[in-house]
Amino acid sequence: MITIQRVQISEADTLLAFSKKTFYEFFEHLNEPANMEAYSSIAFTPQRMLSELSHPNSNFYFAMLDGEVAGYLKLNYADAQTEFKDANALEVERIYVSGEHHGKRIGKQLMDFAINIARSKQFEYIWLGVWEHNDNALGFYKRYGFQVFSSHPFLLGEDLQTDLLMRKSLI
């Protein structure tokens, strides 16, 4: 069983390192190295991580297993949401579990945690974006009842990719 704990500002370096590690674990083999590096040079900086951690309408959570970070979750509310900024919705902007911990149901526990938060705040729906070629994640979200409702472009370096937007109604 994991424990889920809110990430503190003092843990920014740990979050940054884990974020970059898991991003590369899952996408490096599917993308050009130059595009990965261009994206990470912007996305994975101490300044950006501190800014995201400090946003009053964003919360990060670590999934801890035997004293080590096994996964993490980023939830956005209101104006922190990347697209709709809907006061009646919660965005799961990031949900990652390190490769060595796949198969331990950590992603499920993180998603259940996010859905419980959304329900406790009486949101109408929960939504997220996922790369159209991330078949494992798409299957995971579909098993949870998320449905594709739109898409948006995602620029990874110079590679214009498509993220599918998925939502799950909570009412």
Cα–Cα dist 142/22, whole Å: 22
Question: Where is 16: in which H helix or E strand?
Answer: helix 12-27
Beta bridge pairs of residue 69: 64
The tokens for 138 are 């798409």
Catalytic residue among 24, 39, 141, 144: 141
The tokens for 45 are 């900086």
Cα–Cα dist 128/82, whole Å: 9
Give the residue carrying structure tokens 């499920």.
108
Question: Where is 2: in which H helix or E strand?
Answer: none
**77 given a catalytic annotation:** no
Cα–Cα dist 108/114, whole Å: 10
DSSP secondary structure code for residue 105 in this structure: S
Which SS3 state, helix, strand or coil, does residue 31 take? coil
Cα–Cα dist 39/33, whole Å: 10
Positions marked catalytic:
141
